[in-house]
Structures are given as structure tokens and as C-alpha cells.
Amino acid sequence: KAAARPSRNTLHFLLFPVRLAGTSASVQAAPGFEVDTEENELVNPNFVNRNPRNMECLALAVKDRGWGTVWPTRQYWHRLRFERSQHHVSAFVEHSNGNVIVSASTREWAVKRHLYSTKDVMACENIGRVLAQRCLEAGISYMIFREIPWTFRSEAVQRFRNAMKEGGVVLSEPRRIYE
């Protein structure tokens, strides 16, 4: 006698097993178990700050204040510098230790290919836009901008400054907290 073939429904359940899920679940705490919160409030005495800019962002870092008669002042965390040469415009953000953090220049091909001239007023404005975007991407939104008074009045510097401000950068630093 021939073996009986399984029905189609039986094959389906053999090939695609069904998992039954519980419809309700209850969670109960173990009797006599309490959470110890004192352990969470302990602070390690050997704390290492992994973010060196954290104190600057909180306005608690020390500014170098001993150079009162020097111009430009050294009392800053980040300083915006703007330079124009005969053929190019460049701007960069400098940290108080002298390192350049972010820069933009018309010497860069990515900027240069969109400009008619690398030294005119519109080049200054576009460098301001590019640098503002790069500063915000780097997490720097506060910096000081001090320019020599007779160059500060020029249209190119004013357009650069306005482009930085419109880009979301604040051109002054918060006051230091002395507590």
C-alpha cells in the first residue's frame, strides 16, 4: 500500500513554523530589593576632561589678560583673522594658543572656481559665507573680530563681517565667569 501524502496545510506548517507569542506580561520586582542611589552620586577624584574646549564653551577657561598694551589683544579664546593680498583673500580662526582651527581662502579650487575674481568685494563676502559654515560645522560659534580701524571701514571688510554674522557666527565672545 502506498504511503499517504500529507495535505497542503500540513506541509505549510512544516515549512513555515508558527511562533506563538504571549498576549500579556507582568514584571514584578524581587521582594526586598532596593536600588542604591548613593553609588551613582560618587565622583571619581581623578577626573580627566576629554574635551579640551569644554571649559571655553562654558566660559570658564582662562583668557590671557596680561597683554593690556599690545594690539591686537590676546584676551580671547578664538580670534577671526582676515587677510587680503594682491591676488587672494583668506580668513581663518585662530585659537589662543596660536593654532589655526578653521580656514577659508580663494586659493582653494573649490572656492576659486565659483568666483569671477579672487580679490574683489564679492570674493570677500563669499569667503565669509564659507568660513561661517565651516565654523558652525566645527562647533565654533563665538569669536572676536578686531580689525585696524582704517581697514575696518572698507566695503570688503564690512561685507565679510556681515556674511559671517548672517551665517550664524557671533563676532564677540561671552564674558568669562570668575567663579
- Nearest CA-CA partner of 130 in 154, 153, 106: 106
Query: Per-residue pLDDT tens for 120-153?
Result: 999 999 999 999 999 999 989 999 998 776 677 7
Query: What is the pLDDT at residue 8?
Result: 56
Which CATH superfamily includes the segment(s) 83-174? Ribosomal protein S11/S14 (3.30.420.80)
Query: What is the pLDDT at residue 25?
Result: 56
Q: Is there a contact between 99 and 125 (Cβ–Cβ < 8 Å)?
A: no
What are the boundaries of each domain within the chain? 83-174
The predicted model gives 100-115 an average pLDDT of 94
Query: Per-residue pLDDT tens for 75-105?
Result: 888 999 999 999 999 999 999 888 999 999 9
| pLDDT of 1 over the 70 cut | no
Query: What is the rounded CA–CA span in Å between residue 128 and residue 118?
Result: 13
Query: What is the rounded CA–CA span in Å between residue 135 and residue 113?
Result: 22
Strand locations in 99-175 (E): 100-105
Query: What is the pLDDT at residue 132?
Result: 96
